[in-house]
Structure 1
Amino acid sequence: MDVLINVFVALHIIGIASLLGGFLSQLKAMGAGTARFTPAMLHGALTMLVTGVALVGLNQADGATVDNIKIGVKLALLIVILGLVYVKRDEEKVDKGMFVTVGALTTVNIFIATLWT
């Protein structure tokens, strides 16, 4: 079970890397006002959602305790991120404030995952 959990953790990290990497790659375009949500950002957010839900289930099945409040906060942030990226995915350019919001929420989600114990 530990190997399976670690595989899903790795996939979860790949999802967050895709989401954050897509954001960081658009920073120069954001300065020019032409930033857009890339397909990698959408796929990264979806990967995080699927693997996160799987990780909660696998950890509970393994008998580990899961902090449901922490998971709920992370899920709420991810749903907001996913909603923003999904709705604006086909737009040629995205409002700077919305783009910064997605990057900030992604960063907050990372800090919640690592610092909330």
Structure 2
Amino acid sequence: MDVLIHAFVGLHIIGIAALLGGFMTQMKAMGKGEARMVPAMLHGALTMLVTGVALVGLNQADGNTVNTVKIGVKLALLIVILGLVYVKRDDEKVPAAVFGTVGALTTANIFVAVLWT
């Protein structure tokens, strides 16, 4: 079971890398007001959602305790991120405030995962 959990953690990290990487590639365009939600951001957020839910289930099935408050905060952040990316995915130009919010919430999600013990 540990190998499966670690595999899903790896996939979860790949999802966040896609989301944050997509954001980083558009930062220069954000400065010009031409940023857009790239497909990698949507796919990364969806990957994070699916693998996160799987990780909670696998950890509970393995008898590990899960911090439900932490998971709830991470899920809430991810739902807002996913909503913003999904709604704005077809727009040619996304307002800098909306785009910056996605980056800030993604970074906050990373820090919640790493620092909240």
Distance between the aligned counterparts of 1:72 and 1:38, measured in 2? Answer: 26
Residue 100 of structure 2: SS of its match in structure 1?
helix
The two structures have a TM-score, normalised by structure 1, of 1.00
Map of 2:109 onto structure 1: 109
Spell out, residue by residue over 1:18-46, the C-alpha distance to the aligned partner (whole angstroms, 9 max, x if none). Answer: 00000000000001110000000000000
Distance between the aligned counterparts of 2:28 and 2:76, measured in 1? Answer: 28
Map of 1:96 onto structure 2: 96
- Provide runs of 4+ in structure 1 moved above 6 Å: none
Q: Which runs of 5+ in 1 are unaligned?
A: none
Residue 35 of structure 2: SS of its match in structure 1?
coil
Aligned residues: 117
Residue 29 of structure 2 is aligned to residue 29 of structure 1: yes
Map of 1:79 onto structure 2: 79
Map of 1:10 onto structure 2: 10
Q: Which runs of 5+ in 2 are unaligned?
A: none
The two structures have a TM-score, normalised by structure 2, of 1.00
Map of 1:64 onto structure 2: 64
